Structure 1
Amino acid sequence: MSRILRPRGGLALSRRGLLRGGAVAAGGLALSGCDDLWRADAAKDVLTRAEDLHRWSQRALGGEALAREYSRADLSPRFRANGSRGVADAAYRRQLGEGFAGWTLRVEGLVARPLDLSLAALKDLPQRSQITRHDCVEGWSAIGQWQGPQLGGLLRLAGVSDKARYIVFHCADLYHGRPYYESIDLADAFHPQTILAWQMNGAPLEEAHGAPLRLRVERQLGYKHAKFVTRIVAVDSLQGIYGGKGGYWEDVGDYAWYAGI
């Protein structure tokens, strides 16, 4: 049964404030008179430690806190598509044309029972519906309604191992010629608002919004919400997966792995 959970009270720590603090600290290093390479490495280290501090602080101040949820009256009249707007892969184009009737989601890795689930099977699982705000790292926001099974329930169904530390999402699209992927840790994977959405604003996802399935991890910025998800893998380390930093944007060095808001 679909349900809406209301946010709990709790403190919120500003990611922007932490990054601003890190940038100020990095700027201080730049004034120290050391060589450019040392300054660059030191600044990167400061920002990395700021990311770790932010993640620790969010979890310490309310690891189970919910992102704010809204009413249908708050839905944005236009919800921009982030990231890839489409997929060129021939198999995907065929599945799209067939309404994803033969599409399956693979769940594997450190699990006791690997799964291959059709879109119909995902719709038959217990569903969660939530109206939340999508915050893009580019500076825009929009409110939309999402529905799908909770990721935590799917991982329990697969029997995720105690050895797993991360959940990796492999996607059907290429972004600037490179496979798009993302990852989150187990704390966010089992958060009640982390769902695999197949529906947006009461209708099946359109291609631009990640059809047939996208991740919604509501306490993180939009680039973490992987679209066109085809495979989910439980792993104990991110090393050896593409660039080894846990996501497309993380590998190219533009954004941090933890994007909590």
Structure 2
Amino acid sequence: MSSIQIPRRRFLALGAAGFGASLLAGCDRLSESPEVGEFLSSAEGLTYRAQRLLGGSHSLAREYAEADLSPVFKVNGTHMPEGDDYAELVESNFARWRLRIDGLVANPLDLSLQDLRNLPQRTQITRHDCVEGWSAIGKWQGVPLSIVLKRASPLPEARFAVFHCADMYEHALDGTGQYYESIDLIDAFHPQTILAHRLNDGPLSVGHGAPLRLRVERQLGYKQAKYVMRVELAASLEGFGRGKGGFWPDRGYEWYAGI
């Protein structure tokens, strides 16, 4: 197991110099490093295969007690998406917000926040591990993604769930600045993968991704997409962003960030 962790430790060491006042600039500099690209491409497949082999599709991330909750759960990345559309959603307390489930499904869905609250819920206390080196334990509540996807009836050719988010990074001059993330359907149907709308017994704050964020507990923090607006099932990750499966994977991070 130690051999699986070495590439990630090396990544953190390389990243320490690149992360400064600007997280975005730091990540972009790392993604341009040939050394980073070389070990990421070789390590990711090993990590993915090892976790699937050793952990299976239903092994659970560790869950904690309320006494273990961190006194502060750090807001990281985007603190609030820019633009009038999101600001209007906040102003209306997300009354007009809808989650779209589409792509390779037989029954596309448009769900309000109340619709999601009315579905069976899961509460879990888990540790969020950030690639920057910090961790926090939080109590998340939301609807298991599997319940939503089953209602949408995935088609046989669907292999990935792609999460389209409200935040946009305008510095991406190639037109790939819309934030997105993706996971395979093994993780999408995992019991701890939820669409969370509450943190520590309160509604998600804007900084933590209101009204809805992904929690895929067996992966690192950058996979936990905030401000989710749409979930699209797809057979391939080609055609999304730069084709690597997520905003940060497009810029050199591992697509599969299993821990």
How far apart are the structure 2 equivalents of 1:15 and 1:113?
Answer: 40
Q: Any residues of structure 2 matched to 1:1-261 within 5 Å, and which? A: 15-19=4-8, 44-63=37-56, 64-177=58-171, 178-253=177-252, 255-261=253-259
User: Do the aligned partners of residues 72 and 237 (structure 1) sit closer, same or farther apart at CA in structure 2, a change above 3 Å counting?
Assistant: same
Does structure 2 retain, via aligned residues, the 8 Å contact 1:18–1:54?
no
| Structure 1 residue 20, shift from structure 2 partner | 5.5
| Structure 1 residue 197, shift from structure 2 partner | 0.1
How far apart are the structure 2 equivalents of 1:138 and 1:87?
Answer: 21
Question: Could you tell me the TM-score, scaled by structure 2's length?
Answer: 0.85
* 1:199 counterpart letter in structure 2: R
Does structure 2 retain, via aligned residues, the 8 Å contact 1:13–1:57?
no
Counterpart position of 1:36: none
- 1:193-219 deviation digits (Å, cap 9, x = unpaired): 000000000011000000000000001
Q: What SS is found at the alignment partner of 1:155?
A: helix
- 1:214-258 deviation digits (Å, cap 9, x = unpaired): 0000010111000000000000011111111001111122x1101
How far apart are the structure 2 equivalents of 1:102 and 1:43?
Answer: 42
Does structure 1 retain, via aligned residues, the 8 Å contact 2:246–2:255?
yes
How far apart are the structure 1 equivalents of 2:136 and 2:178?
Answer: 26
* 2:244 counterpart letter in structure 1: K
Question: Could you tell me the TM-score, scaled by structure 1's length?
Answer: 0.84
* 2:178 counterpart letter in structure 1: P
How far apart are the structure 2 equivalents of 1:225 and 1:204?
Answer: 17
* 1:250 counterpart letter in structure 2: P
* 1:215 counterpart letter in structure 2: L
Moved more, 13-22 or 90-99: 13-22
Q: What SS is found at the alignment partner of 1:198?
A: strand
User: Do the aligned partners of residues 213 and 42 (structure 1) sit closer, same or farther apart at CA in structure 2, a change above 3 Å counting?
Assistant: closer
**Which ranges of structure 1 fall in alignment gaps of 5 or more residues?**
1-11, 24-39
- 1:97-132 deviation digits (Å, cap 9, x = unpaired): 111111100000000000000000000000000000
Q: What SS is found at the alignment partner of 2:249?
A: helix
How far apart are the structure 1 equivalents of 2:144 and 2:219?
Answer: 16
How far apart are the structure 2 equivalents of 1:149 and 1:13?
Answer: 34
| Structure 1 residue 13, shift from structure 2 partner | 6.4
How far apart are the structure 2 equivalents of 1:188 and 1:196?
Answer: 13
| Structure 1 residue 173, shift from structure 2 partner | 0.7
Q: Which runs of 4+ in 1 moved over 6 A?
A: 40-43
Moved more, 123-132 or 57-66: 57-66
In the alignment of these two chains, the number of paired residues is: 233
| Structure 1 residue 19, shift from structure 2 partner | 4.0
How far apart are the structure 2 equivalents of 1:43 and 1:251?
Answer: 13
